[in-house]
Copies of this chain bind each other. A is one copy, B any other.
């Protein structure tokens, strides 16, 4: 219903570039990068294989563009929610708000893309599992800042827990988050149909509740495990 002054700016046809991106996102997220061919993507998008080359040059370029499309909005959303969470006074409530600020944007759309949040997060999970190089580079330089910000925020809410423990637990959080998006059917199956693993709202509430409790667990005093010393070397 948007009026069109001149019908020049957008193709009247359903934008093929977008269709290819959406199809690739879906296929990569469910089957992995190498299992999906450029021809598969083109067919799913109702396009010609050559069209993919025209718009994105290479298959890697297509993946890169998917990341570019989502990373900005999602991290922006996370920053906003994190800033709001940091202003919560009560420490217990703040911890939950921080965790929620991390989890919610991963499940819901970070931009105008319909339901793109969960799909993109699932894509990230799969690329991570496959050790995809293109993804690894983008992740390290795009998400590590965000991760540190969240770890710091959580640490502020739990000053008595060593940072190392916070890192481990936030790592577990991301793993649980990823896995919830990768195989939601497993939840439905193991609960004998009593839970719907693909229901984002349930997943978020369950994940937040469980994770807050995990963060609040007592610290692991490393004293006992005398085995190997905790790596004194420099960074890396």
Contacts and interface: CB of A to CB of B under 8 A. Distances in A.
Nearest to A190: B167
A165 interface: yes
Interface in A92-122: 92-93, 96-97, 100
A48 interface: no
A233 interface: yes
Contact of A129 (B100, B126, B217): B126
Interface string A190-231: 111111110101110111011111111110100001011011
A119 to B, nearest CB: 14
A73 interface: no
Given A171-B187, A179-B175, A193 B233 contact: yes
Interface string A159-199: 00001110111111111111110110011111111111101
Sorting the interface of chain A by its residue count into under 10, 10 to 19, 20 to 34 or 35 or more gives 35 or more
B216 A195 contact: no
Contact of A206 (B186, B191, B203, B220): B220
A182 B35 contact: no
Nearest to A151: B190
Contacts of A193: 231, 233-236
A231 B201 contact: no
